[in-house]
Chain A
Amino acid sequence: MQLSRSTRIALRIAAGLGFAVVYVPLALVLVNSFNPDRSASWPPPGWTAHWWSVAWENAGARSALWVSVKAGLGATAIALVLGTLIAFAVARHRFFGRDAISFVVVLPIALPGIVTGIALNSAFSTVLEPLGVGLGLFTVIVGHATFCIVVVFNNVVARLRRTSGTYEEAAMDLGADTFRAFVDVTFPLVRSALFAGALLAFALSFDEIVVTTFTAGPGIETLPIWIFDNMTRPQQAPVVNVVAAVLVVLSVVPIYVAQRLSADTATESRI
């Protein structure tokens, strides 16, 4: 299709505007963290790095960050194990209900977070409370792991479908047992998929707020919950601005890692 010159120009402008709309809000968050004023009126009256040092010493934000990291690591670990197990079952076996399993894995992320949240909340309070176990970090990890399984599963199952089982069979013909074949052949094949899945799972958990709201016990505050609670307090606005800016900057890390990772997988496929 030969696009006319004016259509091309129009598309260029539309795309330029589109990307501007996508990035201006993120840039604004960065700029606003240097805003000396507590209000968000534009343009900011000046520049200051004062709030960055204030935020650095903010105990609430620090402990919330720590809770988020712990919850993310816990949920990622569980999701890695469960997601990989399901991926191997689905990709390497045929059994009754295989499609149903793929469906159930997606469900926790497809349904609205609030539905998953209150379902888990009432389950925890009816099952755990009689046992004397209240809501806490543990229940947050359980809730997060539930919806993180799908990203690990997706990554690993896609990798397993692309690599046939013949490598493992070859290893076994050469005398390797099931475990040996897994350690020497299968695991190296799925390693980068596991890593990508783990990265996604951690990011998903780190960012989650709705399920967290309903599974966190008193005193357990993840970073998103902390931001949400402090967002409407004018007193805390500058610190929230800095934390938001830090999160925008940090979002570049997984992009970079993902790019490196796909470069790695490209090398792998070349071999």
Chain B
Amino acid sequence: MTATLPAAGRSPVRRLAGLLHRRRRLRLSLLLTAPLLWLAVLYLGSLGVLFVSAFWTTNSFTSEVVKVWSTDNFHALLTTPVFRQVILRSIGVALAVTVLCAVIAFPLAFYTARVARPRWRPLLVVAILTPLWASYLVKVYAWRLILSQGGLADWMLRPFGLDGPGFGLPAAVITLTYLWLPYMILPIHTALQQMPTGLLDASADLGARPGRTFRSVVLPMVLPSVAAGSVFTFSLSLGDYITVQIVGGKTQLIGNLVYSNIELNLPMAAALGTVPVLVIVLYLLAMRRTGALSSL
């Protein structure tokens, strides 16, 4: 031991290791330099420039960006009826998707977490997770097939004398709900599974019927998880524009407006892009109050 140590101490690798061990600051800066250059300089830098450019304007003849500070874009954002309509519609769609996901996810999660036989539960969780690995685009494409003229939806509703919804706003809401549903099922499932059975028994012993137990015990305990799931369903729906392009018909959401402005008026696109970011941040802050973010 004493013979090997001094010899090893002379090797440069060993000396570097010793240096790194003694100087924690040096070690930390070596760890952080590359990631910070990437995330803080490259990513946050380009985000920052984008948001600054929201205050620039474009020459309406040449489509060239004019770097003069003005709040015209944001003024237009708040006063142009089309913009206001689309912004409100997007928020409405995101909320509708969130509510639909919660309503569909709850019975499913209740079944997988508390009704199904314990032996089957891990398998059911895999069954919930599997669609998350399937390609986003393929899932949207599946709904394009279902909702297309003469497709599965039309075929299923024909016996009732009805037609499928076709492509449009309802199709977009259905498809988005389908896409983000697993993000809502999983947190609710986890919360329900972790709920101590004793609490439910206690409630029943105290004379509560199942309905009352559900309202006074189950719901308050699951609500933070619903909020956690809703962070995904809300923000993913709000930023989406591909789904709307594929199944939304002529419907426009905020993402489509951003997309259609990029070529001709980048500052306006940037200003429009701040809207979902701002709404998502506000939503996150609101959800933080429910304690949802700690359970993410």
Contacts and interface: CB of A to CB of B under 8 A. Distances in A.
Contacts of A146: 38-39, 42-43
Contacts of B74: none
Interface in A1-53: 1-4, 7-8, 11-12, 14-15, 18-19, 21-26, 28-29, 32, 39-43
B111 A14 contact: yes
B235 interface: yes
A29 B130 contact: no
Interface in A208-238: 209-210, 224, 227-228, 231
B66 to A, nearest CB: 15
Contact of B148 (A25, A40, A149): A40
A122 B108 contact: no
B203 interface: yes
Contacts of B43: 104, 107-108, 116, 119-120, 146
Interface residues on A, range: 35 or more
Say which size band chain B's interface belongs to: 35 or more
B132 to A, nearest CB: 9
A3 B218 CA distance: 13
A203 to B, nearest CB: 6
A178 B21 contact: yes
Contact of A41 (B112, B150, B270): B150
A201 interface: no
A226 B30 CA distance: 40
16 contacts: A1-B200, A1-B201, A22-B127, A22-B181, A28-B146, A29-B141, A32-B145, A42-B150, A93-B27, A104-B39, A104-B43, A112-B239, A114-B255, A116-B47, A177-B8, A179-B13
B142 A251 contact: no
Given A93-B28, A101-B32, 4 more contacts: A29-B145, A89-B35, A114-B258, A248-B138
A134 interface: no
Contacts of A42: 150-152, 154-155
B28 A118 contact: no
B231 to A, nearest CB: 9
Contacts of A15: 107-108, 111-112, 115-116
